Amino acid sequence: MKKQKFKKFHEMSPFEVKDLLILAAEESFKKNKKKKVKFLNAGRGNPNFFNTTARSAFSYFSLFAVHLADTLSSFESIAYRYTKENIYEKFLEYIKRSEKNLAVDFLKDAIEFAIKKFKFDPDEFIYELADAALGDLYPLPPRIFPHVEKIVIEYMSKILSPDKKLPKGNFQIFATEGATAAMIYLFNSLKYNKILNAKDHIAIATPIFSPYLEIPKLNEFNLIEVKIQADELHDWQISDQELKKLLDPAIKAFFLVNPTNPTSVAIKKETILKIAQIVKKYRKDLIIITDTVYATFVNNFHSLVKEIPYNTVCVYSFSKYFGVTGWRLGIIMLQENNIINDLISKLSEKDKKKIDKRYITITTQPRKLGFIDRLLIDSRDSALAHTGGLSCPQQAIMAFFCLFELMDKEKKYKKDIHDILKKRIYNLFENLELKVPDKIGHTYYYVLLDIAEVAKIKYGENFKKHLVKNVNILEFLFKLAKEKYIVCLPGEGFAGPIWSLRISLANLEVEDYIVIGKGITNILNYYYKKFKKK
């Protein structure tokens, strides 16, 4: 196909292009009579690994909650709510009667750990969790259960800072239906509270998860994007020159994913400190919005929350590390004393009165609402605020995942996941005949592969120039799909190099990355042979 035939695809989201690539690969695969190869979709970001122990413990705990309720009823399939009196003792009795296995042992140990670590009243804690597991009431309080919030904050402190401590000051959590819901809630509330308005400038660290490029452009937000471009030749770090863009007072917020998607690296500590210095010295009014979903894949991760908590809104999802994409488990974390509360307090009286109308049915003193509570209210468009909040069972299993990681002192689970991902990236790069990236701060979750640079490394500058001039990257991707039955995403849609493609290391078997590496190499060799004949 000619280059111009692919022009329309460059305007599409990479996830929409992926569907076309899948269709092309599947149609071609059906015609393959030998069937000695596999159809490999390396475009999916959700992992094929997941945590079993916390899941099983949650199941046992749910059975406990149901069993306890059953004992209070003489009806079949109908039970009554129970009180918290002696519920901890009843839980221990249930554990004694249960079969002995890893999940039951973890369940008992996790409850004991939480009671001791956080000085919980045993009956209060078990009652909250059991009530949550049953899911028979709306979440109360809607933002997050009090015991669960303390557990989640402790978990976040361990993954966001090298010294495993959050800065001083109270942190608050709003539990959400994954990071995607968190982002929509966040941008909506910033709009409703007149903090981000149409035509305001928002800086975005790129390359970045493509929907995050699309959200600010939506009609309901209509923000102007300023790209803070990471340097491909310097391990995808942000240069001082790019950071200077943040000095512009027209920029109201800085939006980033750290560790990054699709480049899979953590922003270096020195860069984090430079950003913090810019904020503290020149841009005290700048809002930082950081998605930290991949933080758990990096040892000694250093977040902006650690350095400038006053300015930073932290979004996190449990989906990748624990393999719970379908559970929809996410959070928004804010320090109680934060920039957004202060910006709201400085709005004009006219704006405040308009905003008051949004919350007046919730409280007689709407101006005393903190931004985190406004997020909760806005998530149900205020009229249905009493039904807000993440479902109770979701909050309960979230607590178990947090406790699992907090109790894993040797970090065996994390090491095992690292081993899985490292084997995959080694297989990929060895069969691309390239040096394997082995850098501190690499998550090994994705690879953003610049095919033009690969062409240069393998066959020289002249071939690279020829490839870029005469071939479209989407032609390359469709050829890879049709002939090798391999689907990768175009990196351009993530604001990456035009000739890049994103490969997920999370969702296929270790051996599959041998096939992907060989497949990409084979397609590149095809174009090189054509080049040599000229």
pLDDT value for 245? 98
pLDDT in tens, 285-322: 999 999 999 999 999 999 999 999 999 999 999 999 99
Percent of the chain with pLDDT over 70: 99
Q: Is the peptide bond before 259 cis (omega within 30 degrees of 0)?
A: yes
Whether pLDDT at 466 is above 80? yes
Predicted confidence at residue 70, as pLDDT, reads 86
CB-hemisphere CA count at 13 Å for 435?
Answer: 5
**pLDDT, tens digit, 9 for 90 and up, residues 340-363:** 999 999 999 999 999 999 999 999
Confidence band of 75 (pLDDT split at 50, 70, 90) = confident
Contact 494, 208 (CB under 8 A): yes
pLDDT at residue 505 greater than cutoff 60: yes
Q: Answer yes or no: are the C-beta atoms of 275 and 305 closer than 8 Å.
A: no
At residue 77, the pLDDT reads 87
Among 32-36, 161-165, 244-248, name the most confident range.
244-248
Chain CA centroid to CA 293, Å: 3
Q: What is the mean pLDDT of residues 399-423?
A: 97
Q: Tell me the two tokens of residue 406.
A: 């907090």
Confidence of residue 534 (pLDDT cuts 50, 70, 90): confident
Q: Average pLDDT, whole number, for the chain? A: 95
Q: Give the pLDDT band of residue 107 (cuts 50, 70, 90).
A: very high
Residue with the bigger pLDDT between 79 and 480: it is: 480
182: three-class secondary structure by DSSP: helix
Antiparallel, parallel or unpaired: β 330-335 and 171-176: antiparallel
All structural domains of the chain, each given as residue ranges with its CATH number in brackets, are: 3-45+412-533 (3.90.1150.10), 53-137 (1.10.20.110), 168-388 (3.40.640.10)
Average pLDDT on 484-490 reads 96
- Give me the pLDDT at residue 2, please: 54
Position 437 scores a pLDDT of 83
> Whole-angstrom Cα distance, residue 109 to residue 112?
5
pLDDT exceeds 70 at position 1: no
Whole-structure pTM value: 0.95
443 pLDDT more than 90:
yes
Could you identify the residue written with the tokens 């692919």? 6
| pLDDT above 90 for 33 | no
Q: Would the pLDDT of 22 be above 80?
A: yes
Q: Give every CB contact of residue 438 below 8 A, 6+ residues apart in sequence.
A: none
Assess whether pLDDT exceeds 70 at residue 91.
Answer: yes
Q: Of the ranges 76-90, 274-288, 496-510, which one carries the lowest mean pLDDT score? A: 76-90
- Cα 180 to Cα 124: distance, rounded to the nearest angstrom: 32
pLDDT number for residue 29: 86
pLDDT tens by residue, 214-225: 999 999 999 999
Percentage above 90 pLDDT, the chain? 88
Lowest mean pLDDT among 343-352, 438-447, 496-505: 438-447
Decide if pLDDT at 483 tops 70.
yes
Name, in order, each residue with C-beta under 8 angstroms of 297's C-beta and a sequence gap of 6 or more.
259, 320, 321, 414, 417, 418, 421, 443, 444, 445
Beginning with the edge strand found earlier in the chain, give each strand of the sheet holding 237-238 in spatial order.
171-176, 330-335, 312-317, 287-291, 251-257, 201-206, 224-231, 237-238
Alpha carbons 247 and 281: distance in angstroms, whole number: 10
Do strands 287-291 and 251-257 pair parallel, antiparallel, or not at all (unpaired)?
parallel
Per-residue pLDDT at 6: 78
Highest mean pLDDT among 27-31, 108-112, 383-387: 108-112
Confidence of residue 438 (pLDDT cuts 50, 70, 90): confident
**Residue 36 predicted with pLDDT over 80:** no
Q: What is the pLDDT of residue 34?
A: 66
